[in-house]
Amino acid sequence: MRTAVLGLLLSTSTACAAIDDINLFTVEEDIELGRQLKAEIEANPNDYPVLDPSAYPEAYDHLYRIADEVLASGDIQYRDEFDWEFYLIEDDATLNAFAAPGGYVWVYSGIIKFLQEEDDLAGVIGHEIAHADRRHATKQLTKAYGLEAVLGVVLGDDAGAIADLAAGLVGLEFSREDESEADDYSVYYLCDTVYAADGAAGFFEQIESSGLPAFLSTHPDPENRVEAIRALADELGCNTDTWTAGDYDTFKASLP
């Protein structure tokens, strides 16, 4: 059935337009791509100095405590299918986190130390979980590489294609639509947790007030995102009070 559908897409004059809205990868291929990207990152410690969980157990306990709270949301479609592994990268100058297909998420020490509240980090983690769960990366790969290249992966015609695509994931940029959807789902997820549902808005407010030009030049307007996140939280009737029972300062202190 999938072969027939793909053949139809290739033969139509509207294939280029349709590709924006389709994802030719299976859920299993999302997981395999994520594992390939994890291997690429582990093989490149100079660019990605991932902290060893055995050397920093307290830091990882805090990370998973937050991530597990978000993952407990009933709105995560692939909660049981994806691997959902979380890693810390030692880089205090980078205010970022990123997700790979299949539920792999990396969080830089810089963003943890930059943020003021645990709710803010929970919002960021929710945003990255949404990128994985909504399968944004493989949708963008379908769009970026085109049907012919992706067919070599999904139909098994090119054994090395998954490794090549995984390497390309590191620099992949999401569309504004995907970023907006990840913002929305961060609210949905956190609405089911102890955290303020608009936690991601706290991150964007701090980014905006810091005036970081590199971040602002590559991401949609933070001010608009803050307004949209808070409006959605209000519309859903979610809690937006800062959660004070966490120990965010201890989390920060557990990092090198």
**Which of 118, 154, 185, 134 lies closest to 33, judged by CA?**
154
**Tokens 């969980």, located at residue:** 53
Between 19 and 45, the higher pLDDT residue: 45
Q: Distance between CA atoms of 48 and 115, rounded to whole angstroms?
A: 21
| pLDDT band per the 50, 70, 90 thresholds, residue 8 | very low
pLDDT bin (cut points 50, 70, 90) of residue 175 is confident
Half-sphere exposure of 142 (CA within 13 A, CB side): 24
How sure is the predictor about 16, in pLDDT bands with cuts at 50, 70 and 90? Answer: very low
Q: What is the mean pLDDT of the chain?
A: 83
Q: Which residues pair with 85 in a beta bridge?
A: 104
Domain ranges of the chain: 19-253
Higher per-residue confidence, 39 vs 210: 39
H/E segment holding residue 85: strand 85-89
Burial 69-101 (b: 16+ CB within 10 A, else e): bbbebeebebeeebebbbbbbbbeeebebbbbb
Q: How do beta strands 104-108 and 85-89 pair?
A: parallel
Q: What is the pLDDT of residue 3?
A: 38
pLDDT at residue number 108? 95
Pair 11, 3: CB distance under 8 Å: no
The whole-model pTM stands at 0.86
